[in-house]
Structure 1
Amino acid sequence: MQLLSLPSALALALVLGLAPSWALAGDGHDHGEAPAAAAGPAIPRFAATSDLFELVGVLDGQKLALYLDHAGDNSPVKEAQLEIDIAGTRVPVTRVADGEFQAALAAPLAEGVSPVTATVVAGNDTDLLAGEIDVHAAAQAHAEPTGRRNALVAGALAAVLAALALAWGLRRGRAARAQRLGGAA
Structure 2
Amino acid sequence: MHHFRTLAAALALLLGLAMPAARAHEGHDDGPAAPAGAAPRFAAVSDRFELVGVIDGRRLTLYLDHASDNSPVQDARLELDLGGQAVAVARVGEGLYQAELAQPLADGETPVTANVVAGADSERLAADIDWHAPAAAPGKEGWTRTTMLAAGAGLAGVALVLWAWLRSRRSAAARMGGAA
Establish whether TM, by shorter chain, passes 0.5: yes
Instruction: Letter of the 1:167 partner, please give it.
Output: A
Identity %: 52
Aligned residues of 2:7 and 2:162 also touching (Cα < 8 A) = no
Residue from 36, 56, 59 that aligns with 2:55: 59
Aligned residues of 2:46 and 2:125 also touching (Cα < 8 A) = yes
Query: Match of 1:82?
Result: 78
TM-score (norm 1): 0.64
The CA distance in 1 between the partners of 2:34 and 2:83, in whole Å, is 29
CA RMSD of aligned residues (A): 3.9
Cα deviations by residue, 1:58-106 (Å, 9 ceiling, x for unpaired): 0000000000000000000000000000000000000000100000011
Cα deviations by residue, 1:130-172 (Å, 9 ceiling, x for unpaired): 0011222234574525xxxxxxx97995685265156258659
Q: How does 1:1-185 map to 2 (within 5 A)?
A: 36=32, 38-140=34-136, 142=140, 144-145=142-143, 160-161=157-158, 164-165=161-162, 167-168=164-165, 171=168
Change over 3 Å in CA distance of 1:136–1:45 after alignment to 2: same
The CA distance in 2 between the partners of 1:117 and 1:37, in whole Å, is 29
The CA distance in 2 between the partners of 1:168 and 1:62, in whole Å, is 62
* Secondary structure, counterpart of 1:51 in structure 2: coil
Gaps of 5+ in 2: 14-30, 144-149, 176-180
Gaps of 5+ in 1: 21-34, 146-152, 179-185
